[in-house]
Structure 1
Amino acid sequence: MENYTLKFPEQIIKECGRPMTTSEIWQYGVERGYEKTGGFVGKSPWVSIGRKLIIDIKDNPKSKFTVNEQVRPKEFSLKIIVASNLQPIKNKAKNELEKFDEKDFHRHITYFSYTYLSRVYTRTINHLSSGKKDRFREWIHPDLVGVSFPIGLWDKELIELSNEN
């Protein structure tokens, strides 16, 4: 049944060609009559889909899926679709490069850091909402911050300490 549960969102995301929330995946599948092939039981199958996707992404390094945790609700996509949306930057004149905003690259950096740097979670920091009212405020805060939780490298004592309340 696990394979059917993961084939269901894979088929739907391939058809739509865009990231989708679990409720969007479920609604699309119901509209097309795919829910009968998924083997779902219960009152909230979209929650089951979300849980299966999260488990697959976290536990399976060869997972076909990726998640965008920077939006709420989370959007799931296939790695193939995300990679095809990343357009390489072509050589352009200097005045054309100035048209890009730094935030345009944040989603690419987030994808790269999560996929290729051992699941580094990133978050964008908006320097414009800072309380500092000087002309250098954009240099006070970083644009992106990242964090990784390498629990597999922790010592036994550190794991015991993290389990205490």
Structure 2
Amino acid sequence: MTFVELILTVLNETEQPMTVDQIWSKADEMGLIASLHSAGKTPKNTMSAQLTCLANKGTSVGRFKENKTYRYFLKRSDKQISKDTSLHSMPGKQYKERDLHPLLVRFANTNEHFKAFVKTIYHETSIKGSKGENEWVHPDLVGFYFPYEAYSPLTRELAKQFNQNQYRLFSFEMKREVHYGNLREYFFQAVSNSSWANEGYLVALHFSKEEKFISELGRLSNAFGIGVIELNPDNVDQSRILFPARENQIDWDTVDKLVLLNKSFQSFLESVEGDIKAGKAHPGEYDPILADQQMTEWIDEKGIK
């Protein structure tokens, strides 16, 4: 990560004016400093110089002086948003990332590639560790594909005898919007949170449409095997897999770590185990799949667009 990428990521995340010290502290909290490509002995001073340069060049970073201290902010004019991100980060958008979960739950269940039952992982239930110890460990949602849901008991039993139990686990990292300012942070968060599963995905409502951005997103997906899903609030079932995930063997060591750390994840695996033993899936153990009218009402209520 470059200093400019770090600066834009922090200012985009906080959406408020910050001093150099505040930006550096927030970057440390988000785990970005460790990913800096810098051999200098005073990286915070280098970042400060980069901030001054960005503000003086009339870029999307502005500054003002308050009590003899400069505060920096990300400009949010319609023109600048269109130029820098091609996204929809307009004032008044109040919905949270978790408000998008029902859209993915519906899409992952109805889409032919997944046919999955999905469950939200509540990070609040995790065991707290030392600072940075458990960061970028928990996915936002996890999914389970039960291959014989529509099969008769006889067919299911024969499939077991033929050793063809092709269960799959999915991991999803949810974001509202992804652009150059946050691409690397969000993508590698997905890599860290999702590489344990058969397939891991970065999911967002909006991705930048810039050609260079899409090319870079595709390159990262191909290099690290993380798939990309773009949700469609106008027709959830028409959401798209922009880039497919690479299928992997399950990393059981990481699965076991997640079981010990998070009660939501433990509950999910208990549901999976019960379904496999019963020979059928129990949708009530996972997040509810909203019907058309329910989905429309949810999207309207949350202001998702």
Please give the range of the TM-score, normalised by the shorter of the 2 chains: 0.3 to 0.5
Q: Which of the pair has the greater relative contact order for Cα pairs under 8 Å at 6+ separation?
A: 2
Superposition TM-score, scaled by structure 1 size:
0.42
Whichever of the two has the greater Rg, that structure is 2
Superposition TM-score, scaled by structure 2 size:
0.24
